[in-house]
């Protein structure tokens, strides 16, 4: 058991619940700049190629970016209503914005941009999230050339998990998976069955 085990449990839950639109939504908790919890709902954008790392698209102008720059620790909480399964996934987040110096990360960002719908991409052209509305009238429709690459406000977050807490309420089972890194930098997952 290990990485494959928790990831397979998650993939099974996604498959079992895929008829529910909300099954791709999860909660992402960060530590606020004032030291208090900060939580919001985000969309699961898949796993980073050949890894167990989670991809999340966001706006660079949101509060979560400010918080993650101070403390990269975060936790995902995901509950699947049909299968009664909960996943809490703790890890560290890498922020990949347009200023990232790594060309491979910029390619990942671009790939994530083009994997999103045109409607999703156009939200990054709207006024700054969280600021007061200056105009009470309806916002005009924003048009975006489908071939245009990521705009400055678009950001890809990569959460690299180091702990997974899995609970299945139907069969009263709970497993924890903890990442172990050896002195030689070899990674393995330790799984423990715990009381629900």
Q: How confident is the model at residue 182 (pLDDT cuts 50, 70, 90)?
A: confident
DSSP letter for each residue of 68-89: HHH--EEEEEEEETTTTEEEEE
The answer as to whether 71 is a domain residue is yes
Model pLDDT, residue 80: 97
What pLDDT digit, counting tens, does each position of 97-121 carry?
A: 999 999 999 999 999 999 999 889 9
- Name residue, tokens 């406000």: 153
Assess if residue 136 is contained within a domain: no
What whole-number distance in Å separates Cα of residue 176 and Cα of residue 166? 6
Examine residue 27 and state whether it is found in any structural domain, yes or no.
Answer: yes
Q: Which residue has the tokens 């990232």?
A: 100
Is residue 108 situated within a structural domain? yes
- Which residue matches tokens 């399964």? 85
Q: Is residue 140 part of a domain?
A: no
CA distance 159 to 182: 21
Query: Average pLDDT in the 13-22 region?
Result: 95
What is the number of residues in the chain? 196
Q: Collect all residues with Cβ–Cβ distance below 8 Å to 75 and sequence separation of at least 6.
A: 28, 29, 88, 89, 90, 91
Q: Where in the sequence is the domain holding 75, given as residue range(s)?
A: 3-128+149-194
Quick check: is 46 in a domain? Answer: yes
CB 166 within 8 A of CB 153: no
Find the CATH number of the domain harbouring 75: 2.30.110.10
Q: Name the DSSP class of 117.
A: -
Number of domains in the chain: 1
Q: Do the beta carbons of residue 55 and residue 49 sit within 8 Å?
A: no
Look at residue 141 and tell me if it is in a domain: no
Distance from C-alpha of 45 to C-alpha of 43, rounded to nearest angstrom: 6
> Does 73 reside within a domain?
yes
Contact 48, 108 (CB under 8 A): yes
Percent of the chain topping pLDDT 70 = 95
Compute the distance between CA of residue 67 and CA of residue 58 in angstroms, rounded to an integer.
13
125-140 pLDDT tens trace: 888 888 887 776 666 6
């Amino acid at each position: 058991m290990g990485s494959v085990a928790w990831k397979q449990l998650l993939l099974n839950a996604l498959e079992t619940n895929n008829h529910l639109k909300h099954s791709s939504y999860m909660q992402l908790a960060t530590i606020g700049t004032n030291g208090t919890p900060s939580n919001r709902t985000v969309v699961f954008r898949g796993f980073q190629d050949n890894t167990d790392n989670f991809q999340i698209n966001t706006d660079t102008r949101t509060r979560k970016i400010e918080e993650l720059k101070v403390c990269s620790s975060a936790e995902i909480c995901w509950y699947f209503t049909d299968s009664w399964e909960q996943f809490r996934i703790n890890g560290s987040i890498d922020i990949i914005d347009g200023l990232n110096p790594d060309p491979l990360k910029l390619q990942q960002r671009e790939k994530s941009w083009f994997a999103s719908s045109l409607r999703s991409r156009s939200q990054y052209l709207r006024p700054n999230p969280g600021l007061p509305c200056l105009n009470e009238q309806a916002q005009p429709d924003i048009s975006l050339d489908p071939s245009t690459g990521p705009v400055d406000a678009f950001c890809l977050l990569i959460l690299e998990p180091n702990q997974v807490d899995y609970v299945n309420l139907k069969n009263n089972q709970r497993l924890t998976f903890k990442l172990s890194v050896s002195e030689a930098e070899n990674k393995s997952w330790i799984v423990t069955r715990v009381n629900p």
